[in-house]
Amino acid sequence: MSEKTILEQWRSIAYDERADKGQLQRFWATYFNIEKSIYEQLLENPDEVVSGTVKELAEKYGQEVLTMVGFLDGINDSLKEPNPIEEMTEDTVVNLGFDKELLYKNMVDAKADWLYNLPQWNSIFDEEKQKALYLEQKKSGTIVKGKKIGRNDPCPCGSGKKYKKCCGRNA
């Protein structure tokens, strides 16, 4: 059996179904505070593309390599150029050049209010833009059902019969 990648190591700790629930909650609470701290720093200068090896970035943000891998896993979908997270090692060069709108919407999608409500967003987007991005993301996950066909409505198949005497009979 091959050795686990650092991403697999991170995921086996973070999503361990056999772990004690309280221990896992403490793990995530600690991680979310670390994540918030890194985002606060990144959003201070949102146009700067931070890059380096995984190990260098972990040192820059004062974190362990595995914690940095967790952060990279989380931000990867918001990057302009995704990192090769599946096969990266601590010596893999990665970048944190993120798409600001996409990052904001992904934070909303993840229900991470501690991230999309960071004060740093106020210098990136005005209140109106933040509200628009929030609503756009929320609506993207909404499923709109079509009008329900009544028993006595004309059948949508075009036969001219009532729905109950045509396709509705099989329903």
| pLDDT tens for each residue of 134-166 | 999 998 877 777 788 888 999 988 899 999 999
**3-class secondary-structure state, position 2:** coil
* pLDDT at site 168: 81
- pTM, to two decimals: 0.79
Q: Is 58 helix (H, G, I), strand (E, B) or coil?
A: helix
Any idea what DSSP says for residue 167? G
75-108 burial string, b = 16+ CB within 10 Å, else e? bbebbeeebebeebeeebebebbbebbebbbbbb
The whole-angstrom separation of Cα 107 and Cα 78 is 9
Report whether 14 contacts 56 (CB < 8 A): no
Q: What is the pLDDT of residues 42-93, one digit of tens each?
A: 999 999 999 999 999 999 999 999 999 999 999 999 999 999 999 999 999 9
Q: Which residues partner with 93 through β-bridges?
A: 53
